[in-house]
Amino acid sequence: MTKPPYVMVEWTDARNVLEQDLTLDEALAKAKLAHRTSVGYLLLKDAERTVLACDYDPAQPSQDEDNYGNLTVIPSGWVTAVHRLRRETARRKKATENDGTSKPPEA
């Protein structure tokens, strides 16, 4: 099988506000949707669901199929954008976020 595309999915999630005794104005001010970003291998995107896998293990000579793990299943109606990434770009971005610089990590 061909390796699935590596993507970043932007999506809007439901949210729970666990506070009591709010006025209507206070409740509505706190009633915001959560904006999420998930990264992984895009296994499926159809009208119902968008499925990402964090782990991808290509088939070994003794296996018939690739293996996937750590799935994120998002209702497709909640997805606001899908961006195709190059794996190297994602590694560089993660390294930059971790150390606060814009330099790519050293090999």
> How do residues 69-105 score in pLDDT, each as one tens digit?
999 999 999 999 999 998 665 566 666 666 665 555 4
State the pLDDT at residue 107: 41
Q: At residue 67, does pLDDT exceed 50?
A: yes
Beta bridge partners of 39: 8
SS3 105: coil
Q: Based on the number of CB atoms within 10 Å of its own CB, is 98 exposed (0-12), middle (13-18) or buried (19 or more)?
A: exposed
Q: Where are the domains of the chain?
A: 6-82
SS3 48: coil
Better-predicted residue by pLDDT, 62 or 34: 34
